[in-house]
Copies of this chain bind each other. A is one copy, B any other.
Amino acid sequence: MLDIIVLGSAAGGGFPQWNCRCANCARAWAGDPAAPPRSQSSLAVGGESGWFLLNAAPDLRQQIAATPLLQPSEGARHSPIAGVVLTNAEIDHVAGLLHLRERHPLSLYATLRVHQALDGNPMFNALDVAAVRRHPLVLDEPVDLVLPEGKKSGLSVRPFAVPGKVALYLEDASAGDNFGSQGEDTVALEVSAGSTSFFYVPGCAEITPSLADRLRGATLVFFDGTLWRDDELIAGGVGRKTGGRMGHISMSGEHGSIASFANLGVRRKIFVHINNTNPAIVADSPERARLVDAGWEIADDGMRITLPEQPVHS
| Residues of chain A having any CB pair with chain B under 8 Å | 12-14, 16-22, 25, 29, 37, 39, 58-62, 64-65, 71-79, 81, 91, 95, 98-102, 104, 120-126, 168-170, 236-238
Give the nearest-CB partner of A19 in chain B. Answer: B79
Q: In the assembled complex, which residues on chain B have CB atoms less than 8 Å from the CB atom of A122?
A: 120-121, 169-170
- Cα A73 to Cα B64 in complex, Å, equals 30
In the assembled complex, how far is the CB of residue A25 from the closest CB belonging to chain B, in whole angstroms?
8
Copy total for this chain: 2
| 18 A-B residue pairings within 8 Å (CB atoms) | A13-B102, A18-B99, A19-B72, A19-B104, A20-B72, A21-B72, A21-B77, A21-B78, A25-B72, A29-B71, A37-B65, A58-B98, A76-B236, A91-B101, A91-B123, A121-B121, A125-B169, A126-B169
A102 to B17, CA, bound (A): 10
From B19, B58, B102, B236, A19 is in contact (CB under 8 Å) with B102
Whether A126 contacts B91 by the Cβ 8 Å rule is yes
Contacts of A126 in B (CB 8 A): 91, 168-169
Question: Bound complex: CA of A95 vs CA of B238, how far in Å?
Answer: 24
Among residues of B, the one whose C-beta sits closest to the C-beta of A37 is B65
Q: Which residue of chain B is the closest to A25 with respect to CB atoms?
A: B72
Task: Indicate if the CB atoms of B123 and A76 lie closer than 8 Å.
Answer: no
A77/B123 contact (C-beta < 8 A), A13-B102, A29-B71, A102-B13 known: no
Q: Which residues does chain B contribute within 8 Å of A22, judged by CB atoms? A: 76
